[in-house]
Structure 1
């Protein structure tokens, strides 16, 4: 077999947790993207809707902080969610520059259906892990994410 036709291996990289996390994330991201398509959501818009539902009247600045994205990026995201009638952007009394974000009834309904679909997505993705392993993985990732 010609050298360029040999199977490519990545064992040198597989020794690194970060590489394995990246590979796992790419698989999760792709499946999640397909899962959220039917709701007209992407991973970032799903995440933004989750934060807004959990924190009614959150400002755009605080939403950007929570999602770890630039304020300019959150404006595009908020425009997208507002155009889909999933959230409302309301003026904050006494501060003309600030908006309070709140889910609309349609946004609440879409969230409920999308949340159930994402739970099913995670069941598929992590089917090879037992309940204890899933919990351990979630705990470890939360600890790494705090660092």
Structure 2
């Protein structure tokens, strides 16, 4: 190991670098900080961020199809199949045939899934309250609006 690498590992201070001037870098750092804490919040429920997101959409949209879920989560349909399989194995959702469409399945949260979703929702809301405590309510709302605009490509 080089002396420089050794120094970096021993020093807990964040390195000052030119990346901080870029919005993308700043957004990524904020996202990673929020995500790490969120993972700790939902892990005890057996959820990951992707399964939490999928369960959330299914719980709020009974009988959504896997294709619609893929679209809502902005992921490939094959990735949704893996998430749906995982949630179904955990007993959190059911996959039901759609009458008149042999290729589609309607997804619905089970009683256990709804209870897990409610618990997860409360944990994530508490996590966000804690993580955003340094911002006023108005700043938090402005941040959401601005991030949505960025996400919409505006």
Same fold (TM over 0.5): yes
Match of 1:28 among 27, 34, 48: 34
Q: Secondary structure, in 3 states, of the residue corresponding to 2:102?
A: strand
Unmatched 5+ stretches in structure 2:
none
1:36-70 CA-to-partner distances (Å, cap 9, x unmatched) read 11111111111111111121111001101110111
Count of residue correspondences = 145
User: Against the structure 1 CA distance between its residues 91 and 136, is the aligned structure 2 distance closer, same or farther, given a 3 Å change threshold?
Assistant: same
TM-score (norm 1): 0.93
1:8: how far off? 6.0
Q: Secondary structure, in 3 states, of the residue corresponding to 2:45?
A: coil
1:26: how far off? 0.6
1:74-119 CA-to-partner distances (Å, cap 9, x unmatched) read 0010001111111110000111111000111111111111100000
Structure 1's consecutive aligned runs of 4 or more residues displaced over 2 angstroms after TM superposition are 3-11
Q: Secondary structure, in 3 states, of the residue corresponding to 2:119?
A: helix
Give the aligned CA root-mean-square deviation in angstroms.
1.4
TM-score (norm 2): 0.89
Match of 2:94 among 88, 96, 102: 88
Match of 1:63 among 61, 69, 86: 69
Cα distance in 1 between the residues matched to 2:61 and 2:121: 16
Cα distance in 1 between the residues matched to 2:17 and 2:97: 54
Cα distance in 1 between the residues matched to 2:73 and 2:41: 20
Unmatched 5+ stretches in structure 1:
none
For 1:19, the equivalent position in structure 2 comes to 25
